[in-house]
Structure 1
């Protein structure tokens, strides 16, 4: 019985260490462009652009599948700011 408990502790420690190493080795930096673009859009979620809300348009803009002119309620200075952001 005590051998089984010790074995489970050892297996748990080994798997925990393996997960910790895998977290460091396979870490992927998150893409913050979609969040940044969503913040720059007006936030009306009207769907006038043909995408499901501002987050959908932001994802399409980040992927290069849409143009900022698709957002009808956005003002021209906001569109220019988004174009400038995407040019970087």
Structure 2
């Protein structure tokens, strides 16, 4: 967990944007809440996008992502077209 950008400005502590840019973070869960969160969230999402790091903005989305990754580990991924999924192949 990393503190808000707006709360550690001027500090020597690494912030989320720096850590994403350094490759120290591979998945971002950014749940905006409180003052400064809109600007912080935008900066974090931009950094994640620029550095090809997946990000979500809700706990529910984070849980869905983790569950999807867990399921992927349990079975082989099968690539199919949308038509095949909907029985129109």
Structure richer in strand, relative to its length: 2
More helix by share: 1
Mark the structure with the bigger radius of gyration.
1
Structure 2 length-normalised TM: 0.27
